[in-house]
Every structure is written in C-alpha cells, then in structure tokens.
Structure 1
C-alpha cells in the first residue's frame, strides 16, 4: 500500500478525492455529497483564480459537467438537481452510504474514461 500524498503533493482533483476516500469522515461532514459538491465547487473556483488547467469533470460553469452527463446517461436522463443530490437519492433507495456510492460511481466513470485509478 502506498502512503497517501500530502496536500502539497496533490496533482489534481483525483488526488484530493483519493484522500477523501481514505478518510471521508475527516473531510465530508456526515458523508454529505452536497458538502463534497460544495468543496469541489471551491476547488473549481480556485482553479479559475489561479489559472490552473486540469481535467475537472464535476462542475463546468455555464455548462453541464462531464460527470453529470455520464450519470444522466447511466440513470436514463439528466437531472437539474446535480450529481450530489441524485447520488444521495439513489443511495437512500439502495440503503447504501452516499459517499460509498459516490466512490463506486467515480471508479466506473474513470474506468469508462480510461483514466488510471488513484
């Protein structure tokens, strides 16, 4: 098992999410995907402020994000509520912790986009 990267070693959002996966209760209050979504929106804003370029599929200002598009295709239609609410609803109906379902779906999303796992 590799040692988790420190914050100053993160190269992209997937490094951040890997760290969240390892210790979700330390990052996401009550496992709320709405809170995680807000953190990711802040990440995206920081990218814009610092002119950082990277693959960021969770929020595209003024457009539908790649993750929302993928989730909509998986679920048979786009939702105006966003990926966090949609996954939380699915988690509730399947009696699965929402954060756990998110990471399962994130793995599927990355697999389909042929991205290396973190």
Structure 2
C-alpha cells in the first residue's frame, strides 16, 4: 500500500495489529514472508491457522475467511458462482489464471471490494 509522496508504509509488529485486516495489509506489503509462494491457497491456509489461534485464545477473529464464511459467500457472486464448490483460495487462483492476472493481486483487489461493500 502506497502512502502519500510515494512512500511505502513500513510493516507493523504483530503487537500493533488490531484484527485480521491489519494482518492482511502486512501480507499485502510482503506476501513472500507469509506464503511459500505468492499463492492465495497458501494464504487461505495461513488465515485458517490465524483463526484457530484467535479462537484458542478466546477471540472470534478471521471466521470471515473460513470456507463457507462471509468472504466465500460474497466471492461466489463476484465470480458468477463459476467455482462455487471450491475453496475460495483455489477459486481465486483459477479466476486469476482465466483473467491473466497474478492471483495475489486479484485477491487483494477482491479484498478491497469486499471490505468496501461489507463495511457500509
């Protein structure tokens, strides 16, 4: 994410992150730190682990990104249900391939749209 005057924001320490969206903004800055490859399927696995950790510690967290969660349901309408029976990470990777786009770029574009539409 670019800040005014073209400067990129520095990554934040985990202790300064408030929620899964703060975490995803850090992933956006440096995806290779969090995924084996720039893979949306790997990112989905990371988010599943994130959710397990916050639930173990008594907080509802990233359930929006669980299979069948709000993001998954929203995504099905964005890509016309074409990959509706697949996990959302794989569906985005297939959609990105069909569009000739990098999958992580498509994920973050979709994430921005999801947040804009669901936080109204």
The two structures have a TM-score, normalised by structure 2, of 0.84
Aligned length: 112
Q: Take 1:42 and 1:25, find their aligned partners in 2: how far apart are those partners?
A: 17
Cα RMSD (Å) of the superposition? 1.8
Q: Matches of residues 83-94 of structure 1 in structure 2 within 5 Å? A: 83-94=88-99
- Greater relative contact order (Cα 8 A, min sep 6): structure 1 or 2? 1
Distance in 2, matches of 1:55 and 1:96, equals 26
Structure 2 spans left out of the alignment, 5+ residues: 4-8
Gaps of 5+ in 1: none
2:11 paired residue number:
4
Listed one character per residue, the Cα deviations across residues 29-67 of structure 1 (whole Å, up to 9, x for unaligned) are: 22111110110000111111011134641016xxx2100
Alignment of 1:53-72 (within 5 A): 53-54=60-61, 56-59=63-66, 64-72=68-76
Aligned-pair CA distance for 1:80: 2.1
Task: Work out which of the residue numbers 23, 26, 30 in structure 2 matches 1:19.
Answer: 26
The partner residue of 1:51 within 58, 65, 75 is 58
TM-score, normalised with respect to structure 1: 0.85
Pairing 1:26-37 to 2, within 5 Å after superposition: 26-37=33-44
